[in-house]
Structure 1
Amino acid sequence: MAPLSLTHQHLPGMSVIAIAGEVDKTNSAELADYVERIRRPRDHVIFDLAELTFLDSSGLHVLLSCARTCADDDADVHLAAAQGSPARLLHVTGVDVRLPTYVTTEHAIATVLATRTS
């Protein structure tokens, strides 16, 4: 199993969280705790999934829980750069339709910045 690695950066009106490695039931609580700790109220959250190699239903639950929390703050969760099996899971479950999804993290950031200034 590829170890889970989490990093983030705060930009105006958003928190960008990069997830690398694998997320499953053994470490999804670590992801949930991390998101809760670094997410600022009313910030949009962009999950950079470019280096995510595996995602199971427990990790998907974390993403969707974050989306519910963000919605309570009039913010959104955006998914960026998913590929391979994580992208397939997002597609099969319909999450890629429910949450804004982008080919690149840069595109997600630009979209959030544009919506905040309009």
Structure 2
Amino acid sequence: MAEGETTDAETAAQSRGLSVASTTADGIHVVTCAGEIDHHTGDKLRQALDLSDIARPRIVVDMRQVTFMDSSGINILIAAHIRLSETGGWLRLAAPTDSVLRTLQIVGVDAVIDCRETLRDALSI
């Protein structure tokens, strides 16, 4: 393969992609994701969930536009949940799509991390 060429897998990952935007609502950090969370895109989410400079951070991940999530995404969410819990903060998931919610349920993440049906519910204290 010549320098600068990409493999089919790399091209597919680039076309799927993940966009992550962060805002704050009433002191709660809202991380809005759109696209696919997997091995190739997970670092964007991991970076958005790293609020180690804030005491007792509260984070809601808005998952309304997440179309796919594999074990990489699950590991990122569990690691963030543990880290936030240890510092007195918390993590909630808002409005996961049916396919993502099914994945969360199969591995039991919904029993560990608070999952809410809507963003409004997730922002309620």
- Answer whether TM exceeds 0.5 for this pair: yes
Q: TM-score, normalising length from structure 1?
A: 0.85
- In structure 1, distance between residues paired with 2:16 and 2:34: 8
In our comparison, the structure showing a higher alpha carbon Rg is 2
| Pair 1:12–1:40, CA change in 2 (3 A) | farther
**Structure 1 unaligned spans of 5+:** 113-118
Per-residue Cα deviation, 1:43-89 (whole angstroms, up to 9, x for no partner)? 21111000000000001111111101111111111111011221111
C-alpha contact 1:24 1:59 (8 A) present in aligned 2 = yes
- Between the two proteins, the alignment pairs up a number of residues equal to 111
- In structure 2, distance between residues paired with 1:75 and 1:37: 10
Aligned to 1:10: 24
Letter in 2 for 1:10: T
Per-residue Cα deviation, 1:4-46 (whole angstroms, up to 9, x for no partner)? 0101111233211111100110111222122216973312111
- In structure 1, distance between residues paired with 2:77 and 2:39: 13
C-alpha contact 1:15 1:39 (8 A) present in aligned 2 = no
Alignment of 1:1-118 (within 5 A): 1-36=15-50, 40-110=54-124, 112=125
Which structure is higher in RCO with an 8 Å CA cutoff and minimum separation 6? 1
C-alpha contact 2:31 2:48 (8 A) present in aligned 1 = no
**Structure 2 unaligned spans of 5+:** 1-14
- In structure 1, distance between residues paired with 2:35 and 2:83: 24
